Amino acid sequence: MSFPELVFLENLIGDIKDKARIEEVARIPYMQERFPIYTLAFGSKDPRAPTLALVGGVHGQEKIGSQVVLTFLETMTRLLDWDDSIHQLLEHMRIVFLPIANPVGMFLLRRGNGNRVDLMRNGPFDGPSPTTFFLGGQRVSKYLPWYRGVKGAPMELESQVLCDFIQREVFPAKVSIALDVHSGFGAIDRLWFPYSHTIQPYPQLAEAYALKTLLDETYPNHVYRMEPTAQGYTISGDLWDYLYLEHQKKELGFFFPMTLEMGSWLWLKKNPAQIFSSLGLFHPMHLHRHKRILRRHLTLFDFLQRATVSSKVWTQLNPEDRAENQKRALDYWYYET
C-alpha cells in the first residue's frame, strides 16, 4: 500500500540517484504494512558547511506541506541537470530533505502517527508557562487531537527519526536553517520561529529580526508574517523547541528552526464546501489553487538558500547592531501587539 506523495518521492529518487545521498532511515510498521521514511542530502559533505533543511508531512492530513517540499525537491533535481549556478551553490552548502516525516499519518490522512500521537507535541519536555488549553498538547486520550503520548515513554519512532536527522545533518553546520512546512492555522502564511513552549523571547531574537528585515527588504511584496510561534499558541513537546534547546546546550554553530504554517482558512473562505471534506481545513482542493500554492513558496526557498550560504549579514551582528535589532524586535513582536 502506498499514497501519491510516497509514489512521487520514490519515482523522483529513481531520477536523483547519484545527485544526492539518499537514505531509507526507517520503516514505520502499521497493520501488515511498513512505510519507509527517506532523507536526502545534496551538496557539500563538509559537516561544517552551511545547511538548509526542509521537512514536510509531520502532520499527516496536512499533505500540502509535504507536496510543497516535494515540488521544491523536484525543481532542484531538474536544475541539477543543466544549471551551473546550483552546482556552484552546493559546493558551499548542503540542502537536506525529510519530505514525508509521518508516512502512516499521510496514508491515513490523520494528524498523528499510527499510534495517534501528535509528533509536534511528542518532544520530551514541558514548557515552563502553562500552554494553550488542549491544543497545547494533552495526555487525556489518544482519540482526541494533540495527544502527546504516554508520559515518560520514549519518543515515537517518527519523532526520533526527525531528531536524529537534524542532529546528524544540521547540528554540525556552522550556520543552519530548518523549515518545517505545515498548514491549517489562520488566514495568512506565517513563518514561526522559537519559542513555542513559552511566550518569553528566545535568545536569538535580534538575529530573527535581522532575517525578517532582510526578507522584507529583498522581497517587499512577500506574503509572510514572521513571528515567534508562541504568538499563535503555546505548546508542550514541540520538537523544534526541543532541538533548539539541545543545540544551545552543545554550544555549536547558529541554528534557526522555522515552521511555515500556510494559512488554510483563506482557502476555506474561497471554497466553504471544503469544511465538509476530511482534508478541508488543511488542504486546498481546487487544482488551480493547488498549483498556485505549490508555486507560491519557491521564492521563499530560494531566499532561505541564500540566507543560509550568505549568513554573515544576519547572524554576525556587531554589538550595536545587535542591541538595535533586539530593541526593534521587542517593539515589533512584544510591545505593539
* Shortest distance in whole angstroms from residue 62 CB to Zn ion: 5
283 three-state secondary structure: coil
Q: Which residue is nearest to Zn ion (CB)?
A: 182
C-beta closer to Zn ion: residue 182 or 190: 182
Give the residue with the Cβ less far from Zn ion, 183 or 311: 183
Residue 80 and residue 19 in contact, taking contact as beta carbons nearer than 8 Å: yes
Q: How does DSSP classify residue 19?
A: G
Q: Closer to Zn ion at the Cβ: 184 or 201?
A: 184
Return the closest-CA partner of residue 326 out of 239, 210, 222, 242.
Answer: 210
CB of 40 to Zn ion, least distance (A): 21
254: β partners: 175
Q: Residue 261: helix, strand or coil by DSSP?
A: strand
Residues that bind Zn ion (CB under 5 A): 59, 62, 182
Closest distance of CB 109 from Zn ion, Å: 13
Cell of 272: 466553504
| Secondary structure (DSSP) of 171-225 | TTSSEEEEEEEEE-SSSSEEEEES-SS-SSPPTTHHHHHHHHHHHHHH-TT--EE
Of 182 and 283, nearer to Zn ion (C-beta) is: 182
Alpha helices in the chain (DSSP H): 4-16, 63-82, 84-92, 103-108, 157-169, 205-218, 239-249, 265-270, 287-296, 298-309, 312-315, 319-329
Q: How far is the CB of 120 from Zn ion (least distance, A)?
A: 6
> Between 86 and 258, whose beta carbon lies closer to Zn ion?
258
Instruction: Indicate the residue among 94 and 110 with the shorter CB distance to Zn ion.
Output: 110
Q: Measured between alpha carbons, how far is 20 from 183 in angstroms, rounded to an integer?
A: 28
The distance of closest approach from Cβ of residue 244 to Zn ion in the complex, given in angstroms and rounded to an integer, is 18
Question: How far apart are CB 252 and Zn ion at their closest, in Å?
Answer: 27
